[in-house]
């Protein structure tokens, strides 16, 4: 199966694109949407205007406003969890992006990450967090007794 250039879509010849010169194994920053073929807005982290979102397969371009670690498409930060202290107030510091709604239907064409919730959502309430912590302590105590 012939490989294609990620930029031009032309079949590679001996691992090189005859059109733009891209070589297999060379790093690549997407400048065109692989679903729609339109130019991506690099100032917005690769936003596709035709799909009204970021193409699936593109790494989330956003970083945590608190610790600068990369966010995932849910808006979660695995570095600081959205807070420095206390840990029972974890939040999703970034906006949530989805390709499909909670009902399973695609948002737009289903091939782009579309923003579905604002940044700063609590991961759980303090009461939920405390309840989960108590469950964890009980579970660990049960394991320790075995």
Q: What is the pLDDT of residues 15-61, one digit of tens each?
A: 888 877 777 766 566 788 889 889 999 889 899 999 999 999 888 99
Please give the pLDDT value at position 114. 96
Please give the pLDDT value at position 1. 39
What value does the mean pLDDT take over residues 83-109? 82
CB count in 10 Å sphere of residue 124: 14
Q: Quote the DSSP letter at residue 105.
A: P
Residue (of 132, 22, 26, 141) closest to 88 by Cα position: 132
Please give the pLDDT value at position 32. 85
How does pLDDT run across 112-146, given as a tens digit for each residue? 999 999 988 777 777 777 888 899 999 999 999 88
Which residues are registered as beta bridge partners of 115?
97
Exposure of 66 in the CB half-sphere (CA atoms within 13 A): 19
The CA distance from 43 to 36, in Å, is: 18
The CA distance from 9 to 13, in Å, is: 12
Q: What is the pLDDT confidence band of residue 89, given thresholds at 50, 70 and 90? A: low
Mean pLDDT, the chain, whole residue set: 83
Exposure of 58 in the CB half-sphere (CA atoms within 13 A): 30
The CA distance from 65 to 99, in Å, is: 24
What value does the mean pLDDT take over residues 59-83? 85
Residues with Cβ within 8 Å of 87's Cβ and at least 6 positions away in sequence, in order, are 81
């Amino acid at each position: 199966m012939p490989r294609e250039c990620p930029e031009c879509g032309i079949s590679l010849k001996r691992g090189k694109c005859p059109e733009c010169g891209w070589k297999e194994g060379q790093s690549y920053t997407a400048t065109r949407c692989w679903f729609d073929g339109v130019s991506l807005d690099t100032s917005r982290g690769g936003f596709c205007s035709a799909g009204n979102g970021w193409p699936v397969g593109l790494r989330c371009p956003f970083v945590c406003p608190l610790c600068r670690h990369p966010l995932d498409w849910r808006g979660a930060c695995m570095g600081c969890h959205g807070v420095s202290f206390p840990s029972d107030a974890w939040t999703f510091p970034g906006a949530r992006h989805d390709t499909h709604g909670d009902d399973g239907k695609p948002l737009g064409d289903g091939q782009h990450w579309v923003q579905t919730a604002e940044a700063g959502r609590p991961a759980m309430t303090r009461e939920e967090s405390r309840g989960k912590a108590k469950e964890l302590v009980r579970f660990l105590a049960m394991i320790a007794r075995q």
